[in-house]
Each structure stands twice: as C-alpha cells, then as structure tokens.
Amino acid sequence: MPDLPAAPSRPAGPPGPSRPLSRIEVADIAVRLFQKHGYESTSTVDIAEAAGVSRSTFFRQFRSKDDVIFADHDELVARIDEYFAVPHPDPWLAVCEAAAMVFERFRERLEIVRIRDRVVRETPVLRDRETIMAIRYERMFASYLRSTVPGVSPLTAIRFAAAVTATHNFVLRRLIRASDSVGPFSLAAELAEVQRLFRPDAAAPGPEARPSGDVVVAVFPAATDPLELARAIEERLRAQTRPC
C-alpha cells in the first residue's frame, strides 16, 4: 500500500497567555517610565500599556499613581507584621532586625531603588509621601515595643523606634547615593549603637567593671569623729579587697 501523503502542518496559533506581572514588576516598569518621561507626564494608561495590563487591572493592584512608587514598602510592612507576630526573646533587637529586613530588600534591588530615589527627590508630592512612609515604620516599631515590653514608657518606645528608623534611613541613603566623599557605614553596627544609647534595660557595670579611678562616696552623721571615720572607711575598703 502506497504511503499516504503527510498531512499539511497547521499554522501555529497565537501564543498562550504569558505569566501575569506581579505588583512589584508593574511598579518597576512604572519607575523606569517616571525616570524617562517624568512623573507628572506619565499617566496610569502609559503604565498599564507598558506593563501589558488593562487599566482596570492596574487599579486593582494600585489605588493611585503615587502608590506605584512605594509598592516595595507595602510588601515590607506586611512582612514586618508577620515577623512581629512571632514571639521574640528580645523585642528591642527584633525591631532592629525588622529595620535590617527593609535595608536588605532595598540593597538587593539597588539599581531600581536608585532610580526611584532620583524620581522621588525630583517630585515634591512623592517626597511628602516618603516622609509618611517613614512615620509608618516608626509607629509600627513603637507599637510593637509597647505591646511586648512590660512597663515600657510610651515615650521610650517612641524614641527608640524613631532612632532605629532614622539610623536605617541615614545608612540607606548613603548606600543609594554613595560617593567617594562618603565613608562606608554598617547598619548592624549603627543599630547596635542605638541599642546601647536607648535601651532602658541595659545592665549597669558591676564592681569588677569599674575603672581603677572610681570615686567612693561614704555618708556618716556630721558628729562622727574624723579619726573614727577614717578607720571605718579603711576597714570597709580592706574588707572589699580581702581575698575570700
């Protein structure tokens, strides 16, 4: 039986639907458009078209155009909420670790973060929004401390949270805007210094940690005889230095 002719191949159909872009991916596209065309000159339609999504999809992901540029922050706030929901033996350290999470996220995405920083600095409305985001982190940190540290003063929690946030922002800006004139900063080292300065439960140094030039103050009745006073102090000092 003769071979049948091969069936004609069918033309390839249109490609299947591609993977939908994540919220962060859409935001990154928007940031690059803002850099190229300017924030005010870029519309939500421009962003949706560049990202290959409908306008309705865009507004399901973002409430407004300025929400796009802070998409990272929304995800980080959610991660910190989850992190704080887990018990931590040292809440003060947990706050520092939460700040470090934010820093690491931005360091991993440094290229787009640098572009976003330039866009924000050039746009007053975005600079105001950035300030609001910093306050949002401060409130999260202070609220966490007040809920996990028994008897902590509200003002102490606020001060510590503000110091951690300000330190994080300082080091991050130095990383983003690095230049030869700016020395390196370690976020871990700087946050350790914040803990040293602000933690109210830091243990005072014991007698063994006192420097040799410490001053000893003794209180006695005014009528005490000076010779008796001298002998009493000498005996007390000898007793403290006498080996067990």
Residue range 75-108, pLDDT digits in tens: 899 999 999 999 999 999 999 999 999 999 999 9
DSSP state letter for 181: T
Q: What is the pLDDT of residue 177?
A: 85
Residues 45, 127: one domain? no
CA distance 192 to 75: 26
CA distance 129 to 102: 17
Residues 29, 115: one domain? no
For residue 40, give the nearest of 61, 63, 65 by alpha carbon: 65
Q: How confident is the model at residue 204 (pLDDT cuts 50, 70, 90)?
A: very low
In which domain, by residue range, is 167 found? 69-198
Residues 39, 94: one domain? no
Residues 110, 194: one domain? yes
Whether this model's pTM surpasses 0.85: no
Q: What is the pLDDT of residues 140-180, one digit of tens each?
A: 999 999 999 999 999 999 999 999 999 999 999 999 987 64
pLDDT, averaged across the chain: 80
Q: How many domains is the chain partitioned into structurally?
A: 2
In degrees, rounded to 5, the angle at the alpha carbon of residue 103 between the alpha carbons of residues 96 and 162 is 45
